[in-house]
Amino acid sequence: MKRSGGKRIYVDMDDVISKTTDTYAAIVAREFGKQARFEDLSSFDLKKSFGLTDKEFCFFFDLVHQPEVLLAYEPVEGCVSVLSRWARQGCHIDIVTGRPPSARDASLAWLDRYQIPYAAFIMVDKYNRTAKDLSTIITKDQLMQRQYDMAVEDSREMAFFLANSMTVPVMLYDRPWNVQPVEHQNIRRVCSWQEIDGCSP
């Protein structure tokens, strides 16, 4: 067991600590009658992965960001115990999410429900998709002013941004939408929180 005291760690929320996309195939099947398996979600663009029209995707995006849906997600196996131990060891854990500003209260309630420790909860416009509301959300340029010793992400795009623009070592959580080979000295593919714990700084 490594000690991570004093380190500053960036932890993404969806599909890193929250089992979010696991629930989407059932929602899409129920709402639109379209079938897709989690394993087949080869694009980070869910509209493309599920074959949704613009209108269907807007409906879906609103639906999956409703408080009752956000609160129902299960934690990813192992994350609660690893993050709790890191916090006890003095780590500063920032939960850094690309969720829209409307998801703030439910996201904080979810972290509280599972007693996931964090020093800061940060909403970033990771994918240039939300209207700018600078009172509750920061830009990637603003994120760059923060320093991290390690990051855990499942977005390839964000992993490369962190590794290149912020020179942060990144654990890329293996997901169907990021399976393309990553050859970068600052990015390491990981498949579980046990593995992340083993390679933490």
Asked if 154 interacts with Mg ion (CB under 5 A), we say yes
CB of 18: closest distance to Mg ion in angstroms?
Answer: 8
Asked if 197 interacts with Mg ion (CB under 5 A), we say no
C-beta closer to Mg ion: residue 15 or 94: 15
Instruction: Find the length of the chain.
Output: 201
From the list 4, 8, 11, 15, which residue makes contact with Mg ion (rule: CB under 5 A)? 15
Strand-pair category, 74-75 with 18-19: antiparallel
Asked if 125 interacts with Mg ion (CB under 5 A), we say no
From the list 4, 9, 11, 12, which residue makes contact with Mg ion (rule: CB under 5 A)? 12
CB of 154: closest distance to Mg ion in angstroms?
Answer: 4
CB of 5: closest distance to Mg ion in angstroms?
Answer: 26
CB of 173: closest distance to Mg ion in angstroms?
Answer: 8
Half-sphere exposure of 86 (CA within 13 A, CB side): 30
Q: Are 24 and 46 in contact (CB under 8 A)?
A: yes
d(CA 185, CA 183): 7
Binding mask 165-184 for Mg ion (x = CB under 5 A): --------------------
CB of 125: closest distance to Mg ion in angstroms?
Answer: 14
Asked if 14 interacts with Mg ion (CB under 5 A), we say yes
Which residues of this protein are in contact with Mg ion, per CB under 5 A? 12, 14-15, 154
